[in-house]
Structure 1
Amino acid sequence: MLLTLPAPLRRALWAQVRRELPRECVGALGGWVRGEQVQAHALYPLPNVAADPEREYLADPGDLLRVVRAMQREGLDLVALYHSHPHGPAAPSASDRRLAAYPVPYLIADPAAEVLRAYLLPGGEEVEVRSADESN
């Protein structure tokens, strides 16, 4: 599987990661899936409502539902979820695997190492993330 993340979305994701420090950020990506190709088109930041937001993330289910409905109105699908690990690494934690509920890539940002990786959870298969400019 290949996830294409346009440069403006990548910049917006990293801006949210830095803005939320030392808390974990969370959000969703809308776009299209064509076979093994996933194209992100829109970024939807969500508030982290976890009890301990510096060590875990939780998107409010109502907010996530509103975002998914907004995607549908825009002709998009939920193609990925993302969050950050403020102290690294950009790898799924045990709670990330346990709480994974959607069959989409989960992007994890490590701001200390400036690394962004994606995984299919709960299994942990890594998904290639490719940058793209707006013309792609």
Structure 2
Amino acid sequence: MRLLLPDVLRRELWQHARAEAPRECVGVLGGVQAGETWTAQTLYPLANIDPAPERAYLADPGHLLRAWRAMQTEGLELVALYHSHPRGPTGPSATDQALAAYPVPYLIADLSTGTLRAYLLPGAEEVSLG
């Protein structure tokens, strides 16, 4: 399994993560899926409304709905979700795994190490990121 993330979207994701620190950022990626490859084409930053945003994320439902509508209008599908871990860990936390709800890669931007990785949750199977 592989997620193709163009450099321009990778830079936007990191910019979002740095701008939100020390809070966790959250967002979704729209694109297309062919077989076991997801190709991201658009990044939709969302507001984190979790009561403890320094250690958890909860996407604003209104922002998420607008992202879904934009994807539909553009003929795209959900290909990934992303969030940051301002102080680590590089991999998914127990909370990340417990709250996973979509069968797409979850990207985690670890600001403490500058690492970006993708996982299928809740099993934490790593997805190749290209």
Class of the TM-score when normalised by the shorter of the 2 chains: over 0.9
Q: Deviations over 1:84-130 (max 9, x none)?
A: 00001221101101111111100000012110001001111110111
For 1:37 and 1:101, the matched residues in 2 are separated by 19
Give the letter for the 2:35 counterpart.
G
Please list, as runs of the form range in 1=range in 2, the aligned pairs for 1:1-136 lying within 5 A after superposition: 1-130=1-130
RMSD value over aligned CA atoms? 0.7
Structure 2 residue runs without a partner (length 5+): none
Structure 1 length as normaliser, TM-score?
Answer: 0.93
Give the letter for the 1:18 counterpart.
R
User: After the TM superposition, which parts of structure 1 deviate over 2 Å for at least 4 consecutive aligned residues?
Assistant: none
Deviation at 1:62, TM superposition (A): 2.6
Share of identical aligned residues, percent? 65
For 2:67 and 2:127, the matched residues in 1 are separated by 23
Deviation at 1:27, TM superposition (A): 0.2
Give the letter for the 2:120 counterpart.
L
Deviation at 1:69, TM superposition (A): 1.3
Q: Determine helix, strand or coil for the equivalent of 1:32.
A: strand
Q: Determine helix, strand or coil for the equivalent of 1:3.
A: strand
